[in-house]
Amino acid sequence: MSTIQCRALVCLQSLVSLLDVEHLGGPAALQTLAQHLSQLLFSQPDFAKHVDFLEAISSALRALLQTMASQNIPQCMTPDQLMTLCTAGIQSSNVGVRVNMVSILGITGSVLAKEDGTLDTLKTIGCFLLEVATKDPSLVVAGEALDALFDVFADGKEAERASVQIRLLAALKDFQPVFKMKVGRFCGERLSLSLLWEEGVCASLRATPVIPITLQPPFRVRACGLSQRSVVLSVESL
């Protein structure tokens, strides 16, 4: 049953992402769906332990909230529900779950930034995203958290006040060299792996420089170069 439920949620994510609001039943239907997903999620006290379920439902929620935000449809999750979900989800070992959590916060925060009386919630969201950006070991999650911060605090009087009170600009300036170092380390690791891959392929090609392949009419294929992801071949007539 759990597997079927997860697959249904994945299908729901695709439908919400691809179809127009009218084809999904209109704004009221989307709000009802969001409430249903929230109830489904919080009806399981230990939802954070079920990684597949959490990834599937957070992906569906992310797509749904993004669609609702793009159409200016009011959100339905309370700030307490939102922070409960994200606090539990950000501790997951699954990178996809953590990315979904910060994205959900970014979407919801960008909506709240345009409303009045949301200062405290925006401060909570900002502090949460800052902590994720600076402490999460995954560069992908950290980058998503930074992107969410920029979305939340891009515009709005409440967002501006909140950013000043949590000293967002100073925190980002302090984090800038650390993030650059993370990016450099990540790129260095990817480059090293790429070079190792190329060296291994070159060694294999040197061992078997030409591999005859019978075609109609007869041709042979010769390896003549490498790129990071492919072997360049030339076809020669025999």
Domain ranges of the chain: 1-77, 78-206, 208-238
238 versus 33: which is more confidently predicted? 33
Q: Is the pLDDT of residue 144 over 70?
A: yes
User: What tokens does 143 get?
Assistant: 């980058």
Residue 167's SS3 state is coil
Which of 93-107, 140-154, 193-207 is the least confident region?
193-207
Report how far residue 218's alpha carbon sits from residue 54's, in angstroms, rounded to the nearest whole number: 55
User: In whole angstroms, what is the distance from residue 187 CA to residue 72 CA?
Assistant: 38
pLDDT score, position 190: 57
Q: Does the pTM exceed 0.85? A: no
Distance CA 9, CA 41 (A): 12
Sign of the dihedral defined by the CA atoms of residues 108, 114, 115, 117, in that order: positive
Mean pLDDT of 105-133: 93
Question: Which pLDDT score, from 0 to 100, does residue 164 have?
Answer: 94
Write out pLDDT tens, residues 120-138. 999 999 999 999 999 999 9
| DSSP 3-state of 235 | strand
CA gap 125, 131 in Å, rounded: 10
- Give the pLDDT score at 198: 47
pLDDT for 197 beyond 90: no
Query: Helices 95-112 and 51-70: crossing angle, nearest 10°?
Result: 30
Mean pLDDT of 146-153: 92
Confidence of residue 165 (pLDDT cuts 50, 70, 90): very high
The pLDDT of residue 206: 45
Task: Decide: 149 and 133 in contact? Cβ < 8 Å.
Answer: yes
Q: Comparing 127 with 176, which gets the higher pLDDT?
A: 127
pLDDT in tens, 208-232: 344 343 434 443 333 333 333 333 3
Peptide bond into 217 cis (omega under 30): yes
Task: Look at residue 226 and give its three-state secondary structure.
Answer: strand
Of the ranges 44-48, 52-56, 81-85, 161-165, the best mean pLDDT one: 161-165
